Homo-oligomer: A and B are copies of this chain.
C-alpha cells in the first residue's frame, strides 16, 4: 500500500471543498471511484462541499446519484479545492482539464504510470480497479463507510474485473466482501450489469451462427454491409470479440470490422497460453499479450492477420 496515506487524509481534513474527477468517456470504475469516494467522504464530513465530476455512465443502476457534468463547476470553486483525479492515467484524459488548477491535486489510479501529474500520486497498476484502491484507502482509516458509497465502489470493481473473472488478486475479493458487509447492493448491481437487450441477444446469436475457424483461430469478418444490417458500427461490434472466445479448440480469436472507408478495425484475443501482441505489433497495432488490436488498411491485411494468428504457437 502507499506511503502517503496519512498525507492524503491530512489533505482531505484540510480542505473545505473537494472536487473529484474521472476520465473522459467514463466507465463504471471512473464513476464508481469518483462517486464512491465522494459519498464516503460526504458521510464522514457532512459539512464539507464535495463534488464528483464525470459524464453519465450506462452501467449505473437507478437510485445512485448522478455526478456533476464536466465543465459545470465554477472556476473559483475548483481553484480553492482539493482536486482528486481518479482512474485517469494522463492529463489529456481528465474529463475536466481545470482539475489541475486545484489548490492541491492528487492522482489515484490503477493504470500503468505513463505520465506524472498533480502534487501527489497514489498509483498501483496491480489493482484490477481504481475503486479497489479507493476502498482500501478508506478502510485504512474508516472501519465503516456508507452503503451508497460501498455500492459505487463495488460497481467499479465489478465492471473493471468483469464480475471477478479478470482478477487473481485476493484483495479484490476481500475488499468486495467488506463492501458488501458495508451494505453495497450487489443484487441491484448484478441485475443492472447482467441485463441485456433482446436485440443484443439476437445479435450474439447472429455472430455465433456465422464465425469461422482456421488453425488455432476463430474469427469473424464483418464487412460494411453486414455491419449496417446488424444496426451497429465497426467500433460497436469489434469489442464484442469475446462472444466467440474461450473455446478449447480455438485458443485465439479475432474480429475484423470494416469502416465505411474500407479500412478494418481488428481485435485480437487469446487464452493465457498464447500471445497475440506480436501479431498486433507486426500489423502496426499494439496492446497486451491476451488483448490487442490494430487498424488494417484493407482486406489483404485482414488475410495476412488471419494467416499469422491461425499459425500461432503456445507460449
Given contacts A205-B207, A208-B208, contact A248 B195 (CB under 8 A): yes
In the complex, the answer to whether A178 meets B168 with C-beta atoms within 8 Å is no
Task: Choose from B165, B169, B177, B246 the contact partner of A173 (Cβ within 8 Å).
Answer: B177
Which B-chain residue is minimally distant from A157 (CB atoms)?
B173
Task: Choose from B163, B198, B271 the contact partner of A164 (Cβ within 8 Å).
Answer: B163
In the complex, the answer to whether B204 meets A208 with C-beta atoms within 8 Å is yes
| B contact residues around A179 at 8 Å (CB) | 170
A93 within 8 A of B: no
A174 within 8 A of B: yes
| B contact residues around A174 at 8 Å (CB) | 173-174, 177-178
In the complex, the answer to whether A177 meets B180 with C-beta atoms within 8 Å is no
| B contact residues around A180 at 8 Å (CB) | 168-170, 173
**Among listed A56-64, A184-192, A294-302, interface-contacting one:** A184-192
Given contacts A164-B164, A208-B202, A218-B198, contact A178 B170 (CB under 8 A): yes
A76 within 8 A of B: no
A106 within 8 A of B: no
| B contact residues around A207 at 8 Å (CB) | 205
A201 within 8 A of B: yes
In the complex, the answer to whether A247 meets B177 with C-beta atoms within 8 Å is no
In the complex, the answer to whether B198 meets A249 with C-beta atoms within 8 Å is yes
Task: Choose from B163, B171, B213 the contact partner of A177 (Cβ within 8 Å).
Answer: B171
In the complex, the answer to whether B181 meets A177 with C-beta atoms within 8 Å is no
Q: Could you say how many copies of this chain the assembly holds?
A: 2
| B contact residues around A176 at 8 Å (CB) | 170, 173, 177
Q: Smallest distance from the beta carbon of A249 to chain B beta carbons, Å?
A: 5
| B contact residues around A202 at 8 Å (CB) | 208-209
A197 within 8 A of B: yes
A252 within 8 A of B: no
In the complex, the answer to whether B170 meets A247 with C-beta atoms within 8 Å is no
A202 vs B218: C-alpha distance when bound (angstroms): 12
Which B-chain residue is minimally distant from A188 (CB atoms)?
B272
Which B-chain residue is minimally distant from A189 (CB atoms)?
B168
In the complex, the answer to whether A194 meets B165 with C-beta atoms within 8 Å is yes
| B contact residues around A194 at 8 Å (CB) | 165, 246
| B contact residues around A7 at 8 Å (CB) | none
Task: Choose from B173, B186, B209 the contact partner of A168 (Cβ within 8 Å).
Answer: B186
A137 within 8 A of B: no
In the complex, the answer to whether A213 meets B198 with C-beta atoms within 8 Å is yes
Given contacts A180-B170, A204-B208, contact A247 B165 (CB under 8 A): no
22 contacts between A and B (CB under 8 A): A163-B164, A170-B177, A170-B180, A170-B181, A173-B173, A174-B178, A176-B177, A177-B177, A191-B271, A195-B248, A196-B248, A197-B248, A197-B249, A198-B247, A198-B248, A198-B249, A198-B250, A202-B208, A202-B209, A205-B206, A205-B207, A205-B210
